[in-house]
Amino acid sequence: MVAYDSSPTLIQSVQRALHLIEAVGARDGRAHAKELARDLGLSLSTTYHLLRTLTHEGYLRRLDDGSYVLGPTLTQVASQDRLASTLARARPAMQGLRDELRAPVYLAMYADGEITVVEIVDSPKAPSIDLWVGIHDSAHATALGKCILGALDDDDRNDYLSRHPLHSLTRRTVTDQRTLVNEIDHIDRIARDEEEYALGVHCRAAPVVTPHLTGAVAVAHRQSRSPGLTDSDIDSALTRSAARIQRSLALPLTA
C-alpha cells in the first residue's frame, strides 16, 4: 500500500517573498536589503533577487537611499479588502430600505478627492436607474453628490468643485456654483434631486459619516414617490437606514 504525503506543497520562494514583505512592515515600513537578509537568514543575493521581483510588481518600492518601503500594489489590495468589508456591512440595511420603499438604493463614498457610487442594491421589482452620466461628472446634479459635498469641510469641497465643471444634464440642473453651494449649505439632513440628473427621476439621500469615511445612501424613484408613500415616509426610512449603515461601519473589524 502506497502512503501519500497529505501535507501541502509549499513553494519556498513564495514564502520568502511574503516573509520579506512582513519584515519590511516589522521595521516600521522601511528597511535595507542587508537588514532584511539578516532578519530572515537569507543570503544577500537571494534577498536582492526577491526584492527586485517584489519591487517590479509594486509590492515594495525602492527609495533613493537604497531602502525599501511597502508599495502601491499592497496598498491597493488592502484598500479593496476594506471596501469589500464596508459593502458587506452596508448591504443588509440597503436591502431592507429597498424592500421598504420598493425602490433601488445607492451607496456613494468620497475618497482621494472623488465621489463614487460603490454599491447598488436593486431587484426585478425595483430596478436600478441607468447612470447614463457617471457620478464623477454629475455629483452636483445628484442627491448623493450634494449630500456628500455638504458633509465635506470647506477646503475639500472647494477643491472638488474647482476640478468638476457643473454640466447641465436637464433643464433643472443647477449649473451656478454659488447657487449650488447655497443649496448644499441649507440641506436639512436629506438632500434631494428633483429631475436634475435625469427627467422623470427623483432621488433622496442621507449622509453616512464615520471617522474613517464620508458617504451617503440614496433611494431613487421614476416618479416623485412610490404609491402609498409620503415624502415623510421616505425621509424617515432613509434616515433610519443611513443611521444603521453608519453604526455598522463604525464598529471595529473582527478577526
- pLDDT, residue 229, reads 84
Residue 16: domain span: 12-70
Lowest-confidence segment of 36-40, 71-75, 90-94, 176-180 by average pLDDT:
71-75
Residues 120 and 182 in one domain: yes
Mean pLDDT of 58-82: 77
Helix (H) or strand (E) holding 210: strand 202-210
Which of residues 70, 92, 108 is at a domain's end?
70
CA torsion angle for 235, 238, 239, 241 (degrees, to 10)? Answer: 160
| C-alpha of 230 from chain center | 31
Residues 184 and 123 in one domain: yes
- pLDDT, residue 76, reads 65
Do the domain assignments include residue 17? yes
Do the domain assignments include residue 236? yes
Unique residue bearing C-alpha cell 440641506:
187
Residues 153 and 50 in one domain: no
Unique residue bearing C-alpha cell 512582513:
22
Residues 131 and 246 in one domain: yes
Cell of 160: 472638488
Residue 81 binned pLDDT confidence (cut-offs 50, 70, 90): low
Residues 60 and 180 in one domain: no
State the CATH number of the domain containing residue 180. Answer: 3.30.450.40
Mean pLDDT of 211-235: 85
State the CATH number of the domain containing residue 32. Answer: 1.10.10.10
Residues 120 and 176 in one domain: yes
Residue 203 to residue 193: CA distance in whole angstroms: 5
CB distance 248 to 239 below 8 Å = no
Number of domains in the chain: 2
Residues 197 and 245 in one domain: yes
Q: Percent of the chain having pLDDT more than 90?
A: 54
Residues 153 and 99 in one domain: yes
Do the domain assignments include residue 208? yes
Return mean pLDDT, the chain: 87
Unique residue bearing C-alpha cell 536589503:
33
Residues 16 and 95 in one domain: no
Tell me the whole-structure pTM to 2 decimals.
0.69
